[in-house]
Amino acid sequence: MKKRTRNLMIMAACVLGISVLAAGCGQKDSGTASDSGSASVSVGDQVKYEIIGIDPGAGLMQATSKAMEEYGLTDWKLMEGSGAAMTAALEKAYKDQKPIIVTGWTPHWMFAKYDLKYLEDPKNVYGGDEQIHTIVRNGLKDEHPSAYAMLDRFEWTPDDMAKVMVDVQEGKKPEEAAAAWLNDNAAKADEWVKDLPKEEGKSLKLAYVAWDSEIASTNVVKQVLEARLGYKVDLLQVEAGPMWAGVAGGDADAIVAAWLPTTHKDYFDKFKDKLEDLGPNLNGTKIGLVVPQYMDINSIEDLKKTE
């Protein structure tokens, strides 16, 4: 009888040990899945119902606010900040394989550095592909014909822009990255200034927003205007609203940073009679909500809280 009792006690202990071990393994697996965006814990809970945004005046932020309304994301908050703060938060989360949702756009160096994806937008709130346009103040053609012609001819590709952005992100100053790109792509710059007379010493002001893409394009244009046509160019870094108002009011001569037809639509509609649109300088841009590929989510609709 004693031997039988001892055997039963040993069997019970073994069963208890196996149960504890299984529970521990299950908790570990659950934690890992939660970190990378598992459906077992809602995406909202994992990211504290926060979408990491950029500067509050950006058209991308306005579009995201509209998207949150259209998709019924009433529990979510759009966090204001800057492009630099957004990429810093993304870098930290990506390093630790943590879930994160950011407002994003292409071209941008973060797509070259990280494995990212846009969340599907079935309601098309963000619109389709956009273009970046060159906008000049009224009267620029008569006052600075060479600058006007160069700005009208300025056009490059997302790959061109990405090269400058990556160099800046890796530590080069914007003017150094722009100079390096122009050194490697002199033929393109030649076409932009072909047969244009120099206007030595004349001053121009280019306004831009502090997005990596616009830092790249504005610095490239500045160097061409100065080195090839003799202008003295000042750069004015402002938010989107003041950028458009500056060109419309004559405080800036031009911008090469107008995202149309969606991102900056409101500004264009407001000021279009006081400026001139020279058309796209870059095609194939896109805006929307961006997440790391390791997150188990594919659409903005997946963010809506379910009961």
CATH fold, domain 130-285, is Dipeptide-binding Protein; domain 3 (3.10.105)
pLDDT tens-digit profile, the chain (307 residues): 444 444 444 444 444 444 433 444 444 343 443 455 444 579 999 999 999 999 887 889 999 999 999 999 999 999 999 999 999 999 999 999 999 999 999 999 999 899 999 999 999 999 878 899 999 999 999 999 999 999 999 999 999 999 999 999 999 999 999 999 999 999 999 999 999 999 999 999 999 998 899 999 999 999 999 999 999 999 999 999 999 999 999 999 999 999 999 889 999 999 999 999 999 999 989 999 999 999 999 999 999 875 4
Q: Which residues of 130-150 are buried (b: 16+ CB within 10 A; e: fewer)?
A: bebbbbbbeebbeebebbbbb
233 bridge partner residues: 204
CATH 3.10.105.10 segments of the chain = 130-285
- Per-residue pLDDT tens digits for 254-287: 999 999 998 899 999 999 999 999 999 999 899 9
Q: Cβ atoms within 10 A of the Cβ of 229, count? A: 22
- The DSSP letter of residue 274 is G
d(CA 250, CA 35): 50
d(CA 128, CA 121): 10
In CATH, what number does 43-128+289-303 get? 3.40.190.100
* pTM score: 0.76
- The DSSP letter of residue 272 is G
CATH 3.40.190.100 segments of the chain = 43-128+289-303
